Amino acid sequence: MGYQNVRFPDGSIFLVTGGAGFIGSNLCEAILNLGYSVRCLDDLSTGKEENVVLFLNNPNYTFIKGDIKDLDTCIKACEGVHYVLNQAAWGSVPRSIEMPLFYCANNIQGTLNMMEAARQNGVKKFVYASSSSVYGDDPNLPKTEGREGKLLSPYALTKRCDEEWAKQYTRHYGLDTYGLRYFNVFGRRQNPNGAYAAVIPKLIKQMMNGEIPTIHGDGKQSRDFTYIENVIEANLKACIAGSEAAGEVFNIAYGGREYLMDVYYCLTEALGVKIEPNFGPDRAGDIRHSNADISKAREMLGYDPEWSFARGIKAAIEWYRENL
């Protein structure tokens, strides 16, 4: 259960790309709390400087401002590193439809650069962020690895490409790669601002400000919302997984299913507000329903998520109340 008892050899060094972002900064914090050294590589294009400042006083933390699209930067960042947690990418399905060339360069070439840098430096384990978006239009629930549909967005395509490159690096170069298909991650330090903000922090902020939120579609779409603590557990357990699990991809979720309108009213109740939403058009490229089969991650990684949606949303609301 959890990751607090996960142990690595003394002197282990982790590189977290995208370490100034939402997931990356939480990974940096967890690794530092376990007593290991972290290098954070981030170009601060979507990551936040405040997520770097948090850790600068810790002697085990090093920040490198750099871009994964530059191979030399990646190679230097990987020197002496034992474990790479590659979170650097641009998210957002709608934004990827507007900026396909950038997404290709950043999310595919950037990740490929990191795999090559890890290979050249003899990194033990390369764990990378994939996404539930790779399931595309497959209507079957729960979503199961190996049963994917047609991709619905450039963002989903970038993640599928990353998975295929990772398989090649495991097969031909002996790099132990582990792909984590995140399902709608939420929690502390997730950015509530901007047109491409994720739904939960955006709703919380709007409700706290007395604004009327807009729900895309009819609100009957469902998601397997996954609290950040579960994602930290998955990353760290992938780092201690055996080589027999290398080259594989894993659903990382709680295994629940929440309908968006239920989430909406859960938030209004928790925040003590009575606001009815506006409804807007469906977002292009969005999956209608998403719910994960996490049995493969349980069996091969020892993943055993402790944080249900109900427990996670309570913690997230508390964090936003204190920090917004």
Please state, in angstroms and rounded to a whole number, the distance separating the CA atoms of residues 53 and 10: 25
Catalytic residue among 61, 155, 254, 303: 155
- Strand 222-223 to 258-259 pairing: antiparallel
Peptide bond into 142 cis (omega under 30): yes
Label residues 216-254 b or e (16+ Cβ within 10 Å = b).
beeeebbbbbbbbbbbbbbbbbbbebeeebbbbbbbbbb
Which H/E stretch holds residue 84? strand 83-86
Of the chain, the end-to-end C-alpha distance in Å amounts to 31
Positive or negative, the Cα torsion across 199, 202, 203, 204?
positive
Q: Is 155 a catalytic residue?
A: yes
User: Known catalytic residues?
Assistant: 155
